């Protein structure tokens, strides 16, 4: 039996908390109802998963079970069921979610991220502007490379509001560093109001746009949501 910390495990998960490559019965002292077998045979507990969810810092409390399929927005249960599994994450594939304001993009992204946590996989949610601000601060205090290394190890990185604000040259370089570190190894989810054919212009530099989008798009699943705002529909019902 191998013991270690989840931060050292293949799932890119917690830096604290026990994991074991063993049968659940080998975890002595844990109630049986807390044992869960995750990807790659790693046994985790519901305590670990709760910590993964906290560390992810999701914008919304969302779950796969509560996704609304009644509102017409070009979303099918089969699509969600496919990505609720961990296969695409184990392959380091990406997910691009686009659609108009109010179409439920962020909820879907948080729901899939929450599911990844339940599967024992380290996840982190950022609004893109907040991430770029943190990286700017990291450069100032000397922790930039450490921050990049931490981002590179996260199994699922969720970046929301992609393309909403113009990028400064330094921010383009930051995104290039992140995408290059994660390419083919760990998964990145992009959530954006802009359709993917407008991302090139949104990045603003031809050379870096080519490099960033090549790493994002070549192995990506794509969900293009449509329809009117779900928030507007709920207001009309009220």
Task: Please write the tens of the pLDDT for every residue from 179-196.
Answer: 999 999 999 999 999 999
pLDDT computed for residue 48 by the predictor: 82
pLDDT computed for residue 197 by the predictor: 95
Helix (H, G, I), strand (E, B) or coil at 226: coil
pLDDT digits (tens, 9 = 90+) for 21-31: 333 333 334 34
pLDDT computed for residue 51 by the predictor: 92
pLDDT computed for residue 232 by the predictor: 54
pLDDT computed for residue 49 by the predictor: 85
Task: Report how far residue 56's alpha carbon sits from residue 48's, in angstroms, rounded to the nearest whole number.
Answer: 12
- The pair of three-digit structure tokens given for residue 101, joined into one six-digit string: 């304001």
pLDDT computed for residue 228 by the predictor: 72
Distance of CA 66 to the CA centre of its chain: 18
Q: Which residue has tokens 């109001």?
A: 193
Please calculate the CA angle 132-200-87 and round it to the nearest 5 degrees.
75
Helix axes 77-84, 105-118, angle to 10 degrees: 40
Q: How distant, in Å, are the alpha carbons of 8, 32, 100, 188, 189 from that of 160?
A: 27, 37, 13, 11, 8
Q: Per DSSP, which regions of the chain are E strands?
A: 3-5, 18-21, 35-37, 42-45, 94-98, 123-127, 156-160, 187-192, 220-224
Q: What is the pLDDT along the chain (238 residues), one digit of tens a residue?
A: 333 333 344 455 544 333 333 333 333 343 444 444 454 444 556 678 889 999 999 999 999 999 999 888 989 999 999 999 999 999 999 999 999 998 999 999 999 999 999 999 999 999 999 999 999 999 999 999 999 999 999 999 999 999 999 999 999 999 999 999 999 999 999 999 999 999 999 999 999 999 999 999 999 999 999 977 755 554 443 3
pLDDT computed for residue 227 by the predictor: 75
pLDDT computed for residue 72 by the predictor: 83
Q: What domains are defined for the chain?
A: 3-53 (no CATH), 57-237 (3.40.50.300)
Best CA proximity match to 119, nearest among 182, 52, 59: 52
Q: What is the pTM of this model?
A: 0.80
The strand pairing partners of 20, in sequence order, are 3, 43
């Amino acid at each position: 039996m191998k013991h270690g910390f989840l931060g050292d495990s293949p799932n890119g998960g917690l830096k604290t908390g026990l994991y074991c490559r063993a049968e659940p019965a080998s975890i002595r002292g844990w109630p049986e109802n807390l044992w869960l077998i995750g990807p790659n045979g790693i046994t985790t507990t519901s305590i670990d998963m709760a910590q993964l969810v906290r560390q992810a810092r999701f914008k919304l409390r969302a779950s796969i079970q509560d996704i609304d399929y009644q509102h017409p927005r070009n979303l099918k249960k089969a699509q969600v069921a496919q990505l609720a599994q961990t296969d695409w994450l184990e392959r380091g594939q990406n997910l691009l979610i686009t659609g108009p304001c109010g179409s439920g993009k962020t909820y879907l992204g948080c729901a899939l991220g929450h599911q990844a946590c339940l599967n024992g996989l380290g996840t982190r949610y950022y609004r893109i502007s907040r991430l770029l601000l943190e990286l700017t601060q990291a450069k100032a205090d000397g922790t930039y490379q450490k921050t990049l290394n931490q981002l590179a190890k996260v199994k699922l990185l969720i970046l929301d509001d992609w393309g909403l604000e113009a990028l400064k040259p330094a921010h383009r370089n930051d995104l290039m560093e992140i995408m290059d570190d994660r390419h083919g190894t760990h998964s990145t989810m992009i959530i954006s109001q802009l359709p993917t054919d407008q991302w090139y212009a949104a990045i603003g530099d031809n050379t870096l746009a080519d490099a960033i989008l090549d790493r994002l798009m070549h192995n990506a699943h794509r969900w293009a949501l449509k329809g009117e705002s779900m928030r507007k529909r709920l207001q009309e019902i009220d």
